[in-house]
Amino acid sequence: MSTSRDEARQTAIRMLEQIGVILTEDEKARVEVADMGLGELFKSGLQLITYVNTARYCAKDLMLLPHQTCPEHKHPPLAPDNPGKMETFRCRSGLVRLYVEGEPSASPKGRPPEGSERYYTVFHEIELKPGEQYTIPPNTLHWFQAGENGAVISEFSSTSHDESDIFTDPRIRRVPD
């Protein structure tokens, strides 16, 4: 494991501890560092811990380092009776800018990572501060970016199938550590 990945994992654990979330040793070992195969973790990627993911629901915490961006993607339908993942993001600390399909915001504050701009197509900005939340419908393009102090987001969703996510950037490989 590279130092930067270990550093990102340890920072993510500290971010949770600072807001009163205590992880077991097993959970600390399961904190995923996802660089999306791009090799630019501190620009494009995120850290996450999945607490539960069953056939009915999922709960995770997502930790973003300062200005770190989770690239644009959607959760597609998986079967006739499964329209895709619906997820609610609740900001726990920091600031997160969420971009979804819809009328582009006049002056969005976030910016796609340098060199990847062509892979970002939705710019309807929703700013989430601690205590605020937003629900993303299934099969909706979205991406999100932390503010200058990073962010912790709790995600509550229907079953998660990360391997099925569709990213607009064809270079991305969403494979767990």
Residue 132: CATH number of its domain:
2.60.120.10
pLDDT band at 175 (very low <50, low <70, confident <90, very high): low
Q: For the residues 121-138, what does the mean pLDDT come to? A: 98
pTM for this prediction: 0.95
Q: Determine the structural domain holding residue 47 and report its residue range.
A: 3-167
Q: For the residues 123-131, what does the mean pLDDT come to? A: 98
- Asked if the model's pLDDT at residue 16 lies above 50, the reply is yes
Q: For the residues 129-140, what does the mean pLDDT come to? A: 98
Give the span between the Cα atoms of 162 and 70, in whole angstroms: 13
Give domain status of residue 175, yes or no. Answer: no
CA atoms within 13 A on the CB side of 33: 22
- Asked if the model's pLDDT at residue 21 lies above 60, the reply is yes
- Report the percentage of the chain scoring pLDDT > 70: 97
Give domain status of residue 38, yes or no. Answer: yes
- Residue 130's Cβ-count burial label (10 Å; 0-12, 13-18, 19+) is middle
Give domain status of residue 126, yes or no. Answer: yes
Give domain status of residue 174, yes or no. Answer: no
CA atoms within 13 A on the CB side of 56: 0
Tell me the pLDDT of the chain averaged across its residues. 95
- Asked if the model's pLDDT at residue 60 lies above 90, the reply is yes
Tally the domains of the chain.
Answer: 1
pLDDT band at 176 (very low <50, low <70, confident <90, very high): very low
Per-residue pLDDT, 2: 57
Give domain status of residue 176, yes or no. Answer: no
